[in-house]
Amino acid sequence: MLIRKKSLSLAVILILLSSLLLTACSGDGKQSSNGGQEKVEISIFQFKVEIANELEAAVKEYQDKNQNVKINLETVGGGDDYGAALRAKFQSGNEPTIFNVGGPQDVEDWTHKLENLSDQPWVDLALHGVLSGVTVDGKVYGLPFNMEGYGLIYNKRIFEAAGINPSEIRDFASLEAAVKLLDDKINNGELKEQFPLLEAVFEYPAKETWVTGLHTSNMFLGQEFESSLAAFDAKTLDFKYANQLKSIIDLQADYSPNAKTKNRLNAVDYSTQVEQGLAMERVAIIQQGNWVFGGVNSINKEVAENLGLLPMPVVGVKENTIPVGIPMYWTVNKDSSDAQREVAKDFLNWLYTSDTGKEYIVNKFYFIPPFEGFDKLQPSDPLSADILKFAEAGNTTPWVFMGYPTAWGMDVLGVNIQKYFAGEFTWEQVVEDSKAKWQEMR
């Protein structure tokens, strides 16, 4: 994980300025070492729905270069619980060759299935700090997907039409003022002609407990714990900034289409928020990360190219900042056959070090690479560019949610937030129950 601002800045500098070129493993057309032998079939079970089609294309290209290999790809994520689906997959006996883990807690949960990847070529190319969440006793068990950041994504065209300068939004007070101004202009019809579908400032998908219980909460628990490892080691939760968490949740709920019927927020999913919300200019701001760019771009290129990222302020603590980290890691099932493990490692190495693979990583997946050697392929989408600006300025918070107790973020805090919107819990009950469950689950 990217634990300190200094470390992250170094990572960004390396991404942007590194002149180290890969030589040993960057050639295209590399045959896997079992080429010419009988066909080897492997399976990939991965979580990132946003790249499902593009990853399928990469798989096909790899297979074209390695005729003895067949790769079956399955994607489970978005509105589905990948962790639960992964457990079910293993329990069925149909174990994947390549799968994903999220950091220290997942590494502990799956340690009996993880292949040691310390000898892989990409390990020495990893940017500072990105392997810490999957390193145990000096052994590396996962390849980082990418570097991601999230915050409040806004539509620049709507902001401009409303006379709001996003560069002046650096804390909660300025954010709240901008939201209220935009809300007034939407309600009095000033923006109707230019944006006929625009109905609210925010869309907040409380149905997606990974958004609420993991991502929203991380901004505030990221001030309590310095890293995912620190969160993983914590036997109790103080929830020091619970009131600040309430402020950002309430702001998104109070200025959403369901402001007067907040129980309905529990039915709002990712598609409603992103594809039917931001991409259609039905709302002006959503809490998400750079992973939404590809989906929005496929619906409305003009909207996608006019997206920007605002901070997620923690009032009185750290306000002009966004969380940046590693979303997931690729791992190899150590119980797969020797030939399967060999192919799995070769595919992952090809994807992140070959010229063709790197093209997919940056220009098809819209990833910010977590490795050296991408100096000729800098991220070009506006959200990734904004993330790099926050990172260069040192205005980042670590991703600590991968150190939460297993399922606590989604099944406890996320569900408790749903109860809050439904009127079943007060905020105090959300906090107290979540603290108690943390201790129990640890």
HSE value, Cβ hemisphere, 13 Å, CA-based, for 172: 17
Interval 198-218: pLDDT, tens:
999 999 999 999 999 999 999
Query: What are residue 74's DSSP bridge partners?
Result: 45
Q: Quick one: 326 exposed, middle or buried, by C-beta within 10 A (0-12, 13-18, 19+)?
A: buried
Looking at the predicted structure, is the pLDDT value of residue 329 above 80? yes
Q: With contact defined as beta carbons under 8 Å apart, do 331 and 98 qualify? A: yes
Q: Quick one: 354 exposed, middle or buried, by C-beta within 10 A (0-12, 13-18, 19+)?
A: buried
The fold of 20-147+327-374 is D-Maltodextrin-Binding Protein; domain 2 (3.40.190)
The fold of 149-324+397-441 is D-Maltodextrin-Binding Protein; domain 2 (3.40.190)
Looking at the predicted structure, is the pLDDT value of residue 219 above 90? yes
Looking at the predicted structure, is the pLDDT value of residue 438 above 90? yes
Distances (CA, A) of 230 to 97, 225, 235: 30, 6, 10
Q: With contact defined as beta carbons under 8 Å apart, do 251 and 175 qualify? A: yes
Looking at the predicted structure, is the pLDDT value of residue 415 above 70? yes
HSE value, Cβ hemisphere, 13 Å, CA-based, for 437: 19
Looking at the predicted structure, is the pLDDT value of residue 12 above 90? no
Rounded distance between C-alpha atoms, residue 199 and residue 84, angstroms: 35
Give Rg (Cα) of the chain.
Answer: 22
Q: What is the pLDDT of residue 128?
A: 86
Q: Which of 329, 309, 291 is nearest to 396 (CA)?
A: 309
Name 91's Cβ contacts closer than 8 Å, sequence gap at least 6: none
Structure tokens belonging to residue 258: 């369901």
Q: What is the pLDDT of residue 351?
A: 98
Interval 264-303: pLDDT, tens:
999 999 999 999 999 999 999 999 999 999 999 999 999 9
Q: What is the pLDDT of residue 37?
A: 64
Q: What is the pLDDT of residue 379?
A: 79
Q: With contact defined as beta carbons under 8 Å apart, do 434 and 412 qualify? A: yes
Q: What is the pLDDT of residue 17?
A: 32
Looking at the predicted structure, is the pLDDT value of residue 13 above 50? no
- Number of neighbours of residue 155 by Cβ within 10 angstroms: 23
Residue ranges per domain, the chain?
Answer: 20-147+327-374, 149-324+397-441
Note the pTM of the prediction, 2 decimals: 0.80
In CATH terms, are 20-147+327-374 and 149-324+397-441 the same topology?
yes
The whole-chain average pLDDT of the chain stands at 91
Q: Which of 50, 76, 318, 328 is nearest to 214 (CA)?
A: 328
Higher pLDDT, 222 or 80: 222
Type and span of the H or E element at 316: none
Interval 91-150: pLDDT, tens:
999 999 999 999 899 999 999 999 999 999 999 999 888 998 999 999 999 999 999 999
Q: How confident is the model at residue 19 (pLDDT cuts 50, 70, 90)?
A: very low
